[in-house]
Structure 1
Amino acid sequence: MKSVAILTMVYDDDIYLKIWLSYWEKFVPRSNLYVLIHADYGHYEQMASGCNTIRIARPPMHAGSEVSRWKMLSSLASGLTLMFDRVIYTDVDEIIALDPKHGNNPIDYILDRPEPVVSPFGVDLVEPIELDLPAIDLSRPILSQRSFVACNPPYSKPCIISDPVIWGTGGHFINREEIYLSDALVLFHLKLFDKLTYRERAAKRKAMVTDPETGELIMGPGGKEWMRTDEFHEYTIESRQPINNIDFRRPRKKWLESAKFNRRSGVWRRSGRSHKQLHRIPERFDNVF
C-alpha cells in the first residue's frame, strides 16, 4: 500500500491551521500529517493533537530568514521521501483540492501519478469588495461561502514530490526542469479569502518584519507580501457566472514553458503574474472544503 506524508508550518495561524487539518484528515489519519511549529508550541501541539508535531526554533528575523527556512523545509521533505511514496508540503494557508469531476480523493489521485514532481494549478481565493459577504463560518464549507478566484500561476508550486529536491524561497521553484502540471489538482491560496482574517494577519506579519528599535522594515523575510496590509481593491469581478473549469489555459501554458535555470540559487524558475480578475468557480467545488 502506498504511503503519503503531508507537511505544513504554522506561526500564529489558528484559522488556517483549523482549515488545513479539517481538510486533510478527511483523507489520511493525523499520523500522516506533520505540523512544524514556529511559535506558541503548547497551543499548536494541542490543536494538532495526533499529528507529528516538530518544534522549530525561531532565530531573530534577518534578511536571509526565508532562505534558511526553505533550505530546512527542502531537507526535511526530501528526507521523508526516503520513507514515504509521496511527500506534500503546503503553507498553512494553501489547500490542494481535486476537481470533483476527476474524483473525490486527492490522495488517491496523487499516489497514482508516476511523475516525480507534481504541481497543482494555483489560484487566489478572494473575498470580492463588490460583495457584502458575512464573516466566514468555519463550521460550513469554505468554498460555499467564498467562490471567486483569480488565476495565479506562481502558486502552481512543485510541492508534491517522490524524490529529494531543493525548493527555492517560497516553494515556487525547484531544482528540476521537468514537472507535471496537473489539470485535475488546484492549489487554493487562502490569504485573501476573508477580509477580517487577512487584516488581522497582515498587521501581525508587518510587525514581524519591522525592527522594534528603529521602526524600519527588515528587507528580505517574506518579501514585499509581508509588508502589505490591504490588497482587496486590486481585484475586480470579471463575471458572476460560474466558469466551466479552473484551468486558465493560456497563462498555464505560458507559465509551464517559461522555465529558466538560475545558477545562483540552483533552481529552475518560471515566470508569471498574479491576475486580478475574479472568476466564480464551478458549483461542483462548493463542498470540497
Structure 2
Amino acid sequence: MQSTVAVVTMVRDDLFFLKIWLAHYGAQFGRENLYIINHGRGEDVARLAEGCNIIGIPGEAQKNFDMKRWRLLNNLVNGLRGYYTHVIVGDIDELVVIDPADGRSLLEFLQQARKGRVLTPMGLEVIHRIDQEDAPIEGAVLGPRRHVRLAPHYSKPCIVSVGTKIARGGHFTQFDQLFTPDCLYLLHLKFCDFEEYVSAMNRRNAVTEGMSVQEAAIGRHWFAEARGEDRALFDGFAALEMVEGFDMRPYRKKMQRSFGPRGETGFYAFDRPDYQLQFVLPERFNGTV
C-alpha cells in the first residue's frame, strides 16, 4: 500500500479513454489510490472503474459547468493532500508519463521528488497520422501511434504537493515557481485515434446542445458549431513540420524564461506559442501507455 500518489479525474461516458487511464495509473499506483468523479453516474464507468474510489454526481446540463467542475477538483485535491504526498489531477484523456530513459517508474520518481511544489510536465499531443498509421489501438497506444505534436497548452501544472488553487481548465495555478522536470511529459490523447475522436466529439456536442459557451463556461471545442470537418483536421497533421530527434530542453527553457504573473488574476503562467511542430517518439516509449 503506497500513500505517495493519488490521481484524480472526472469522466462522463468516455470509456475508451477511461480504459487507458485505468490501465496506466492503476498499474503504477493501485486502483485504491485512484479517485474518479463519475459525472452522470454512468453504470459502465462504475463497472470499468471497480476497485477505484468513485464519486457519483448528477449529469444534467448546468450553467457554469467547468467552473463547478474545477471547484470540485480543487477541493478534492487539497483534501487528499492530507493523506498523500502528491496528487495528480487532470482530464481523462491526459496522462503523466516518465521517460523510460530515466530508469525509474513514475512512482519511484515521485517518492524521491521534493514536496511543497507543483510539477509541470511538458505537454505533447499524441496525433493519429492517418496517412501512415493504419493499426487500431487494441492495447497500448504508443507503438501503433508514434507521432506527437508539441503542445504548450497541455503543459499543465498537474502534480500538486502544496496548497494552491488550480485555474479552470487546469492550465494555471497560484504557485509562484515553475518546476518542469526533464523526464516528465503530459500526453494528451484526444487526437490519438480518428474513429474515437469522432465518437467523443459526438458525445460532447450532445451534452452542450442548446447551451451557449457563456452558459456552460466551457471551451468552444465542446460545441458543434466550432467543430469543423473531422477528417480534414486529421489530414492536416501531415503538414506539421517534422523535427528530427527528440530534445525538449529548448522548449522547457522558453517556458522558464516567460514564466510570471498572469496579469492581476493571482495565477502564474508561461507563454504558450502555437508551435506547428511534430516529432516521432523514440521507440523506448512504445508500450508505456
Instruction: Say yes or no: does 1:93 pair with 2:93.
Output: yes
User: Given that residues 61 and 207 in structure 2 are in contact (C-alpha distance below 8 angstroms), is that contact kept between their aligned partners in structure 1?
Assistant: no
SS in 2 for 1:83: coil
Letter in 1 for 2:234: F
The Cα offsets for residues 38-89 of structure 1, whole Å up to 9 and x where unpaired, read as 0243321111111111112335332x22122112111110111011111111
Once structures 1 and 2 are overlaid, which stretch shifts more, 259-268 or 90-99? 259-268
Once structures 1 and 2 are overlaid, which stretch shifts more, 219-228 or 146-155? 219-228
Letter in 2 for 1:225: H
Match of 1:8 in 2: 9
Once structures 1 and 2 are overlaid, which stretch shifts more, 82-91 or 259-268? 259-268
Alpha carbons of structure 1 residues 283 and 132: separation in structure 2 relative to 1, 3 Å? closer
For residues 44-123 of structure 1, the aligned pairs below 5 Å read 44-62=45-63, 64-115=64-115, 116-123=117-124
Fraction of identical pairs, as percent: 30
SS in 2 for 1:186: strand
SS in 2 for 1:182: coil
User: Given that residues 38 and 54 in structure 2 are in contact (C-alpha distance below 8 angstroms), is that contact kept between their aligned partners in structure 1?
Assistant: yes
Alpha carbons of structure 1 residues 265 and 74: separation in structure 2 relative to 1, 3 Å? farther
Alpha carbons of structure 1 residues 250 and 120: separation in structure 2 relative to 1, 3 Å? same
Match of 1:232 in 2: 234
Structure with greater helix percent = 2
CA distance in 2, matches of 1:135, 1:7: 28
CA distance in 2, matches of 1:257, 1:78: 29
User: How many pairs does the alignment contain?
Assistant: 279
Alpha carbons of structure 1 residues 264 and 92: separation in structure 2 relative to 1, 3 Å? same
Alpha carbons of structure 1 residues 232 and 275: separation in structure 2 relative to 1, 3 Å? farther
Letter in 1 for 2:42: Y
Deviating above 6 A after TM superposition, structure 1's stretches of 4 or more consecutive aligned residues are none
Match of 1:152 in 2: 151
Structure 2: any 5+ residue segments left out of the alignment? none
Match of 1:205 in 2: 204
User: Given that residues 6 and 33 in structure 1 are in contact (C-alpha distance below 8 angstroms), is that contact kept between their aligned partners in structure 2?
Assistant: yes
CA distance in 1, matches of 2:14, 2:124: 20
CA distance in 2, matches of 1:190, 1:199: 13
Letter in 1 for 2:92: V
User: Given that residues 125 and 190 in structure 1 are in contact (C-alpha distance below 8 angstroms), is that contact kept between their aligned partners in structure 2?
Assistant: yes
Cα RMSD after superposing both structures:
2.1
Offset at residue 235 of structure 1 (A): 2.2
Match of 1:185 in 2: 184
Instruction: Say yes or no: does 1:267 pair with 2:270.
Output: no
Alpha carbons of structure 1 residues 38 and 2: separation in structure 2 relative to 1, 3 Å? closer
The Cα offsets for residues 150-174 of structure 1, whole Å up to 9 and x where unpaired, read as 1111211111111222111110100
Once structures 1 and 2 are overlaid, which stretch shifts more, 271-280 or 6-15? 271-280
Match of 1:195 in 2: 194
Instruction: Say yes or no: does 1:256 pair with 2:261.
Output: no
Offset at residue 104 of structure 1 (A): 4.3
Alpha carbons of structure 1 residues 144 and 104: separation in structure 2 relative to 1, 3 Å? farther
User: Given that residues 178 and 259 in structure 2 are in contact (C-alpha distance below 8 angstroms), is that contact kept between their aligned partners in structure 1?
Assistant: no
Letter in 1 for 2:213: I
TM-score (norm 2): 0.89
Offset at residue 274 of structure 1 (A): 3.8
User: Given that residues 154 and 271 in structure 1 are in contact (C-alpha distance below 8 angstroms), is that contact kept between their aligned partners in structure 2?
Assistant: no
Offset at residue 186 of structure 1 (A): 0.8
Offset at residue 240 of structure 1 (A): 8.7
Match of 1:222 in 2: 218
Offset at residue 149 of structure 1 (A): 0.2
